[in-house]
């Protein structure tokens, strides 16, 4: 419909009943602007109402000055700025070609522009001179569409001459995406060194390993053949005032590569940088507290990662070195492999400086057993290591991070329910006890808001709880808060925008185990709970992650349905609305989930493995047996 009602104003007596029309109504036509443009084009084609002649290269072009003034700053200043051209009927336009001026006028009258390689440069110059911004943008897009290794110098020169920042950014984007192949061309060494340094220093550089950055820095001075044969004098490169090698993040290179490089160097600043990177590799346990901008992976993507869990598919249960990875743009869950990946369920999970810590949990792939062991995952190198174990076994506990410490709170060891709280210091790789809970609790959940840790609900004995407690790390003290609206256990909890959301879980309020669909929101400032939109379906022992302002609830058990589930539900906090997400590959409960920055190599590996494995997954026989840590 062309016409839309924009606003409706009631009369002086107030609101008008819906059956009566508004006293004042405003309408807008979506077709009017195009109709106006079509009408002006008809006037041009019919030679009607022309009131100005543009003289370009000695040729006359008739036009309507009101349209010219409305279309660009150049003519607006000329015809409406008090200049002498206001009174002239013939206006000479210098510095542009007749062809370019004709194309600009075609655009002004039609909003359409046809470009080709023969005329784009003169059209760009004319548009820059006459300040026709849309045409400048179209020319930049056209040039970028033809950008390749052979013409990049010419296009970059145009960007510099005309001060085209948007084209300059497109060239930079091209370099970031193609540095591996482009750095092997002779043209690469003709680009300004400061531009190369800026590209090699970027977090957005698309490389699969830092060794590719190292090679790109060498390629600015040596041919690819010389680099491959190691016919490179690294000492001479240090005389380069820009020192492109300073852009290389040596800590991200593989240890064996660094050792070879170190052996080739005499004493120099570069050798010191390589030695520092080797020390970083040798101090594996302390890497999380050694982070600098030079240890951050490039071209990383924020992904949801799920570790461990109890699966209904024997294929995934047996594959103990894979974990689940998801990015919203993929539309599917993928798997990533890493040696020594732990396979347990309900592990406490924490992220510190983009390292993942898995703390304790249930060793229930064979029989129920609480664990004290802990692991750490480094996405930079896709490797696992063990850290100091807990001082006490913890299962059905919760883990929170605050101020560089990791807290393991409560739980049980299948003999006793726990009130103890342990704190991990990554600088010393040690656990210590801090103030215990007021009372023992397990199957609860926790979150951090404004420097304080909040835990909610859970079980004590056979009783489901709706208790809430707050821990202040500065005073090492627990205090009781307002109770939640419903008892539950084996639920999830997430903090977002200064609120805590308690989601999923189960209770036996009806005399039998059932899903809790009610979602509760806690305001710590007011110490008040409220109820928001309920879950569409049950999630007991779910994975929980917060990404892009939304809370993802992953799989878990549905007691109403009597099985594990693979569905995913996403809560939009701003709109208080649930929607279905991309389902997991298999039904799983006890998944430990987080959001992690994964480097390009890791996401590429995950997606590649997914394509190879998809066919075999479709042939898996499903096992309906459903063991869990839940009583």
Domain spans, the chain: 32-146, 301-617
Lowest-confidence pick of 78-92, 150-164, 536-550: 78-92
Strand partners, 434: 421
The 3 state secondary structure assigned to 109-124 is HHCCCCCCCCCHHHHH
The closest alpha carbon to 398, from 409, 386, 414, belongs to 409
The pLDDT, as a whole number, for residue 20 is 74
Angstrom distance (rounded) from CA 100 to CA 57: 11
The closest alpha carbon to 346, from 507, 544, 519, belongs to 544
The pLDDT, as a whole number, for residue 233 is 76
**Topology of 301-617 in CATH?**
Neuraminidase (2.120.10)
Given a contact cutoff of 8 angstroms between Cβ atoms, the answer to whether 538 and 561 are in contact is yes
Angstrom distance (rounded) from CA 449 to CA 470: 10
Given a contact cutoff of 8 angstroms between Cβ atoms, the answer to whether 402 and 356 are in contact is no
Which DSSP symbol is given to 517? -
The pLDDT, as a whole number, for residue 238 is 57
Residue 622 pLDDT greater than 50, yes or no:
no
Extended beta strands in 20-104, E state: 24-29, 52-56, 59-63, 90-92
To the nearest 10°, the Cα dihedral for 229, 230, 233, 238? 130
Model confidence at 401, in pLDDT bands (50, 70, 90)?
A: very high
**pTM given for the model:** 0.84
For strand 310-311 and strand 588-589, is the pairing parallel, antiparallel, or unpaired? antiparallel
3-state secondary structure of 315: helix
Lowest-confidence pick of 1-15, 141-155, 399-413, 499-513: 1-15
Residue 588 pLDDT greater than 80, yes or no:
yes
The pLDDT, as a whole number, for residue 610 is 61
**Topology of 32-146 in CATH?**
Potassium Channel Kv1.1; Chain A (3.30.710)
The pLDDT, as a whole number, for residue 628 is 52
């Amino acid at each position: 419909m062309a016409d839309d009602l924009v606003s409706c104003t009631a009369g002086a007596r107030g609101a008008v009943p819906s059956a009566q029309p508004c006293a004042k109504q405003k309408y807008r036509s979506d077709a009017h602007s195009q109709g106006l443009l079509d009408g002006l084009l008809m006037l041009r084609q019919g030679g009607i109402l022309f009131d100005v002649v543009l003289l370009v290269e000695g040729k006359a072009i008739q036009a309507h000055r009101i349209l010219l003034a409305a279309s660009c700053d150049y003519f607006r200043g000329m015809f409406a700025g008090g200049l002498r051209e206001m009174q002239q009927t013939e206006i000479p336009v210098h510095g542009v070609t007749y062809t370019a001026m004709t194309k600009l006028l075609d655009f002004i009258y039609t909003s359409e522009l046809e470009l080709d390689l023969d005329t784009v440069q003169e059209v760009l110059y004319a548009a820059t001179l006459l300040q026709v911004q849309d045409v400048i943008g179209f020319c930049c897009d056209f040039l970028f569409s033809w950008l390749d290794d052979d013409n990049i110098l010419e296009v970059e020169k145009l960007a510099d001459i005309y001060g085209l920042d948007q084209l300059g950014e497109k060239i930079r984007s091209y370099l970031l995406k193609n540095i591996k192949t482009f750095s092997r061309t002779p043209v690469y060494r003709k680009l300004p060194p400061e531009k190369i340094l800026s590209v090699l220093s970027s977090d957005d550089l698309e490389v699969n390993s830092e060794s590719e950055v190292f090679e790109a820095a060498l390629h600015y001075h040596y041919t690819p053949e010389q680099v491959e044969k190691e016919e490179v004098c690294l000492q001479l490169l240090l005389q380069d005032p820009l020192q492109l090698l300073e852009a290389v993040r040596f800590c991200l290179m593989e240890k064996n590569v660094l050792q070879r490089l170190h052996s080739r160097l005499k004493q120099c600043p570069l050798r010191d940088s390589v030695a520092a990177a080797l020390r970083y590799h040798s101090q594996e346990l302390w890497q999380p507290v050694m982070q600098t901008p030079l240890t951050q992976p490039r071209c990383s993507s924020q992904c949801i990662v799920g570790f461990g869990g109890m699966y209904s598919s024997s294929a995934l249960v047996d594959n103990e070195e894979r974990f689940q990875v998801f990015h919203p743009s993929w539309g599917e869950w993928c798997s990533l492999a890493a040696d020594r990946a732990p396979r347990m369920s309900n592990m406490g999970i924490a992220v510190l400086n983009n390292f993942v810590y898995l703390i304790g949990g249930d060793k229930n792939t064979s029989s129920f057993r609480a664990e004290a062991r802990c692991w750490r995952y480094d996405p930079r190198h896709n490797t696992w290591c063990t850290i100091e174990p807990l001082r006490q076994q913890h299962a059905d506990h919760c883990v929170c991070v605050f101020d560089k410490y990791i807290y393991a709170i409560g739980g049980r060891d299948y003999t006793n329910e726990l009130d103890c709280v342990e704190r991990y210091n990554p600088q010393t790789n040690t656990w210590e006890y801090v103030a215990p809970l007021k009372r023992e609790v397990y199957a609860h959940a926790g979150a951090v808001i404004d420097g304080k840790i909040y835990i909610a609900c859970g079980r004590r004995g056979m009783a489901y709880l709706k208790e809430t407690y707050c821990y202040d790390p500065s005073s090492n003290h627990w205090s009781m808060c307002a109770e939640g609206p419903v008892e539950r256990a084996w639920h999830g909890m997430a903090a977002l925008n200064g609120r805590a959301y308690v989601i999923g879980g189960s209770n036996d309020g009806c005399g039998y185990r059932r899903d809790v669909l009610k979602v509760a929101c806690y305001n710590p400032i007011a110490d008040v709970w409220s109820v928001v939109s309920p879950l569409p379906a049950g999630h007991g022992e779910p994975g929980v992650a917060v990404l892009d302002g939304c809370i993802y609830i992953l799989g878990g058990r549905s007691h109403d349905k009597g099985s594990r589930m693979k569905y995913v539900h996403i809560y939009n906090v701003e709109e208080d609305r649930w929607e279905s997400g991309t389902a997991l590959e298999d039904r799983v409960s006890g998944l430990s989930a987080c959001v992690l920055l994964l480097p390009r190599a890791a996401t590429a590996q995950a997606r590649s493995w997914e394509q190879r494995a998809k066919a075999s997954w479709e042939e898996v026989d499903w096992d309906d047996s459903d063991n869990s840590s839940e009583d």
